Structure 1
Amino acid sequence: MAGPWVSARTIDGVKLPSDNPHPLARFLRSFWAPTARSMRGWAMASVVVNAGIAVTGAGVRVTGSGLGCPTWPKCTPDSFVPVAHPEVSMINMAVEFGNRLLTFLVLAVGAACVIAALRLAPRRRSLLTLAWLQPVGILLQALWGGVVVRTLLNPFTVGMHFILSIGLMSVCWLLYVRSGEGDGPVRRVVHRDIRRLGHVLVAAAFTLVVVGVMVSGTGPHSGDELASRFDLDIEAMARLHADVAYLVVGLTFALLFALHVSAAPRAAKRAAAALLAVEFAQGVIGYTQWFLAVPAALVLLHVLGASLVWIFALRAATSLRTRDAAPVPGQHAPAQATAVA
């Protein structure tokens, strides 16, 4: 044969698992024989599916399908799957039932994270704890979904449904970050005050989410004609939401400025810049919503934007610190790796 002969990558003559060309085999090995890289991949997949189901949940609400399945855990009093019901549209029933089915996809990804964390060598307790929080949180979300249905889409229970999703996204993001780090003490990579600014930014972003939930519970798109609304002034709530959004943007700009005038890592600067871009895009969507009387399609984009603002705020905050490999017992960690609060 013409040309040089190149052997497959091996270790002591054993072909590496990553050389397996079969997609299914590589997929199975990604959680059954995981690497740090595949562990991170599953963590990111969990971030995506948890954000995705939050958006589809909003789709249930804006299509008036919130009580498409009028009972829980069954779809109708006599069936777990959609069947003709004299008081419910089959379209609304299909939309609501479809969103319930997506819970199994989210649960499957969470289970893959747990399996990968269990089989990762060496096993890391920090990753295992974060991984287990996912299926537990998803099951709690499913049970809370039953509360939402049984309370006829009370705006408080609906809003808490989204807040719980935000919590799950946080756990998934932390699993992604920790999968790429060691288990040593936290080490900040920027000035102490800049890291504190990152914490304040995350707190402000969470406040923005909470106020946004209150606006959603006051405005249109309740999910069903039987659903109640918060007894609040929608215009006042929208103005409060915008004020908190301005605060978040201001804090993000301050963080970006502080990073650029200090010897901050490039990754931290990119994370802050990306967050600012997402915030501006979300602002455009929000103002367009208001002036167009809150069309359903823009509600979906706004919920997606809210999820992205939260995830990118977490990304900006976690880029300000790192963890090195855990020190070997009996050895002292280098002075520059001293843990910080």
Structure 2
Amino acid sequence: MPVPGPARTARTIDDVKLSTDHRNPFVRGLASFWAPTPRSMRGWALASVVANAGITVTGAGVRVTASGLGCPTWPRCTPDSFVPVAHPEVSMLNMFVEFGNRLLTFLVLAVGAVCVVAVWRLVPRRRSLMRLALLQPAGVLAQALWGGLVVRTALNPFTVGMHYLLSTGLIAACWLLYARAGEGDGPVRTVVHRDLRVLGYVLLAATFTLLVVGVVVSGTGPHSGDEIASRFDLDIEAVARFHADVVYVVVGLTFALLFGLRVSGAPLAARRAALALLVVELAQGVIGYTQYFLAVPAALVLLHVLGSTVVWIAALRVVTSLRSREPLPATPAGPSPAEVAATV
């Protein structure tokens, strides 16, 4: 005989209490974006920074291994298959390298989608974060389409260079999501002198200029990605020296900012960010000069691309460390319906 009692309905995921401290790693992972805390939200934003930086470096790996046209068509890998198959004109190794980089796009897209879900589920919901989160899957899809253009133009150095620069823009959006997730939505509060903040923006612009010039050097030198790929018709010695000149400017601006932060008693976080940027720049300079004198070996080119990505992230960190945002003031709660009735 069934025992009489209240009817029970099936439990949904919204009825289940999730905890980021749960012993089950699957539940912890699910809770980190389905029932996010500000901390777990920042964790996913940082994961997006790492994922986009990683695929930028693996893209360079495709180029230095001469696998740029390992999959000679797009969106298919070969004219008659979406996955690598034996092709008389393409090495299977090159094909797998290029196809593997294409597959990583889905991983980066998944991380971006999780960021969107985490921001959507965050309580209270923050519209400023949603805009930054939506840029991630949109940017990844745009990058995938541009990657198809890179293949269809036979690795034209302009399209290849723009592919990298679009990645730097996407990394900037991911970093801003990470930084803003740790702040409120109130007015910007400057934590350093106004002139130092302006210097920080100048430094960021100079760093981006350095990346652009680096793209020109890369498009002029060896490691085009394939034998049939064209190159910029420029003097490699001249563009390499100009690149070095821009490096000196960036390092000088970084030292000036670090000195200004030091003597002005700026917050420790800002001084540490500037010092970290200077250290990364010096390490990158050592790699750059070493690869130049060793005739640009492929391994050092890959390391140099990794360094340039880290320099860009470190420069973004410097800029976001120079200001903060306070939480919005709480809106006074209105009288309850009972209080309103009592006054009538």
Q: Name the TM-score, length of structure 2 as normaliser.
A: 0.91
Offset, 1:17: 1.7
Name 1:305's counterpart in structure 2: 307
Confirm or deny that 1:22 pairs with 2:24.
yes
Q: Secondary structure at the match of 1:18?
A: coil
Q: Choose the corresponding residue for 1:213, options 196, 212, 215.
A: 215
Identity %: 77
1:191 aligned partner: 193
Count of matched residue positions in the alignment of Structure 1 and Structure 2: 318
* Equivalent position to 2:69, from 56, 67, 70: 67
Structure 2 match to 1:158? 160
Deviation at 1:269, TM superposition (A): 0.3
Q: Is the 8 A contact 2:18 2:31 kept in 1?
A: no
The one-letter code sitting in structure 1 at the alignment partner of 2:300 is L
* 1:1-341 matches, cutoff 5 A: 17-329=19-331
Query: What amino acid does structure 2 have at the position aligned with 1:83?
Result: V
Residue type at the aligned position of 1:98: G
Partner of 1:335: none
1: CA distance, partners of 2:17 / 2:182: 25
For residue 326 of structure 1, report the CA deviation from its aligned partner: 1.2
Question: Residue 279 of structure 1: CA displacement?
Answer: 0.2
The answer (yes or no) to whether the contact 2:20–2:27 under 8 Å persists in 1 is no
Query: 1:26: Cα distance to partner?
Result: 0.2
In structure 1, list runs of 5 or more residues that go unmatched.
1-13, 331-341
Q: Could you tell me how far apart the structure 2 residues matched to 1:114 and 1:319 are?
A: 24
- Structure 1 Cα separation of the partners of residues 128 and 151 of structure 2: 35
- Structure 1 moving runs of 4+ over 2 Å: 327-330
Whole-Å Cα distance in 1 between the matches of residues 120 and 319 of structure 2?
28
Distance 2:210 2:241 in 1: 12
Distance across 2 between alignment mates of 1:60 and 1:102 = 12
Amino acid aligned to 2:87: H
Paired AA for residue 89 in structure 1? S
* SS at 1:322 equivalent: strand
Quote the Cα distance in structure 2 between the aligned partners of 1:139 and 1:87: 29
Partner-residue secondary structure (3-state), 2:226: coil
How far did residue 15 of structure 1 move? 8.0
Shift of 1:329: 5.0
Shift of 1:211: 0.1
Q: Distance in 1 between matches of 2:79 and 2:172?
A: 35
> RMSD value over aligned CA atoms?
1.3
Q: Distance in 2 between matches of 1:299 and 1:207?
A: 19
CA contact (8 A) 2:53 2:309 kept: yes
The one-letter amino acid of 1:94's match is F
| Deviation, structure 1 residue 302 | 0.4
SS in 2 for 1:243: helix
Q: Structure 1 residue 125: deviation in Å? A: 0.4
2:6 matched residue in structure 1: none
**Cα displacement (A) at 1:16:** 7.4
For residues 217 and 261 of structure 1, what CA distance do their matches in structure 2 show?
41
Matched-pair contact (CA < 8 Å) for 2:136–2:170: yes
Q: Secondary structure at the match of 2:189?
A: strand
AA partner of residue 142 (structure 1): A
Determine the C-alpha separation between the residues in 1 that align with 2:216 and 2:20.
48
Q: Distance in 2 between matches of 1:251 and 1:114?
A: 36
Between the aligned partners of 1:189 and 1:254, the Cα distance in structure 2 is 17
**CA offset at residue 20 of structure 1?**
1.2
Cα distance in structure 2, aligned partners of 1:170 and 1:216: 22
- In structure 1, how many angstroms separate the alpha carbons of the residues matched to 2:278 and 2:21? 40
* Structure 1 SS opposite 2:79: coil
Q: Distance in 2 between matches of 1:123 and 1:221?
A: 47
Deviations 1:175-202 (A, max 9, x none): 0000000000111100000000000000
User: 1:328 Cα shift?
Assistant: 3.7
